[in-house]
A and B are shown apart, each in its own frame.
Chain A
């Protein structure tokens, strides 16, 4: 009974195994990135970037149909262009980075949807917007795994300057030139993971496995290492549970994975020991000194 409920879907169906591995790769790499996005107050930037990669993927689709390589390359290029352009606009004009990013991603999203609907069917549009975690083929899986490995390696490489760049940017600037390249590498890792997430979850939800586990983890710990581990665990658990529920109910898998992550977030919001609402209902106490 329990075996049928929890393990049989994966033992019996290869597409479920693939989906699980893909989801786990996304969760493992995305969670630590999400932690830094939150600590750098860039949560919405991740969201905006995930929309921004759409026209790139759409142009890739226009050129060669539902092809992994073309859509990935297009997404990466569009992501980098929007990230760099909004950074440049913020430096050169009076607009702040959040405003210019919002402008670019809205243009980008509209452009992407227009391109896809001109050429393709509604099914294709749904695929691009919401992905399909159950249709991950071998090459896509390799791509997800490669991106996850590169992300964890890259994050380890820039970890120290990234922390310093976040907590005390002026100090980092006074001792090293690493600040700007570190920001760029970090942004590049985010874009790469959004493109990876795009294949499984679609552009609209690619950012979900990045932000929701990270935001939930923040409610349980104030230590970055602990937060990263908790976020990874929540992400992997969301992928697994989401797929199980989707298998048994027949509801679409991508949104269910994100919904489960959202559930983890809501529960953490209430019960989290390091920042949840539960702190507020305990009687007020304080120490002697």
Chain B
């Protein structure tokens, strides 16, 4: 299977402290990959680097499936101003950004696709509601509808089901499964081992370094999880400059 992404000796971090250290490997096209690991393991940082939101301290991310700005990225803490007067329809329709540009109007066909996307996340009837009136779960459904319209070959989700109830999680997992059937590459940062085991065929256990990467059942073993926890706890404030070459 051709690769969608390749990490070449990738080191990411803040103020020179690595959050992801010398990561090497490929994500195949059509992979449904869960990234897991303890807090501070570098999971969100890795997604940001894939999306092109931060520059690596070392190494590089090679994007073989599409350009950085064609990747659909749902950040963990979306900085959405919920008091801003904009409704659900307009917000979802912004998924068409690349085809609309500055002035493009929405065609009748695109209009229908916006309604379809809103329907497939179960928000039909709320198109005219202003985003400030949505619950946390409805907000996340709306953002998934926008991701649907972005029609991206690579989709990044950062803890998409945190603080979301089980019904909403199940509905949104169905959307993820649909992306997988459409052979899109999906990478999701997740904490719930149960969800990962059941819905994600592949997993990357990250604790600054890749502890294990492969089929989910081989990755999420008790031994690996223990190792992951130890590696992050061993963080050293007085660390010397790293001279390792992968």
Contact = CB atoms under 8 A, between A and B. Distances in A.
Interface of A: 39, 157-158, 160-161, 163-164, 166-171, 173-177, 222-224, 227
B84 A167 contact: yes
Contacts of A223: 85
A161 B104 CA distance: 12
A173 B97 CA distance: 12
B182 interface: no
B242 interface: no
A200 to B, nearest CB: 30
Q: Interface SS of chain A: helix, strand, loop or mixed?
A: helix
B81 A168 contact: yes
B78 A174 contact: no
A168 B79 contact: yes
Interface of B: 51, 53, 69, 71-73, 75, 78-81, 84-86, 91, 94, 97-98, 100, 102-103, 130-131, 146, 150
Contacts of A39: 81, 84-85
B19 to A, nearest CB: 18
A158 B79 CA distance: 20
18 contacts: A39-B81, A158-B102, A164-B94, A164-B97, A168-B78, A168-B79, A168-B81, A170-B79, A171-B78, A174-B51, A174-B53, A174-B71, A174-B73, A175-B69, A175-B98, A175-B150, A222-B130, A223-B85
Contact of B97 (A166, A169, A175): A175
A174 B102 contact: no
Given A160-B102, A174-B53, A174-B71, A168 B97 contact: no
Nearest to A274: B85
A165 B15 CA distance: 27
Given A167-B80, A170-B79, A176 B69 contact: yes
A289 to B, nearest CB: 12
A115 to B, nearest CB: 39
Nearest to A168: B80
B134 to A, nearest CB: 13
B69 A166 contact: no
B97 A224 contact: no
Nearest to B83: A39
Q: Which of B81, B85, B146 has the most CB of A within 10 A?
A: B85
B195 to A, nearest CB: 24
Contact of B86 (A161, A167, A170, A173): A167
A222 B83 CA distance: 10
B84 A166 contact: yes
Contacts of A227: 85
Given A168-B79, A170-B78, A222-B85, 10 more contacts: A39-B81, A39-B85, A163-B84, A167-B86, A167-B91, A168-B80, A174-B71, A174-B75, A175-B97, A176-B97
A161 B98 contact: no
Nearest to A182: B102
A177 B73 CA distance: 15
Nearest to B77: A170
B217 to A, nearest CB: 32
A234 to B, nearest CB: 18
A227 B94 CA distance: 22
Contacts of A158: 102
Contact of B81 (A160, A161, A166, A174): A166
A45 to B, nearest CB: 16
A223 to B, nearest CB: 6
Nearest to B69: A175
A174 B69 contact: yes
A164 B73 CA distance: 15
A157 B103 CA distance: 8
Contact of A167 (B75, B81, B97, B150): B81
Nearest to A167: B84
Q: Which of A167, A177, A227 has the most CB of B within 10 A?
A: A167
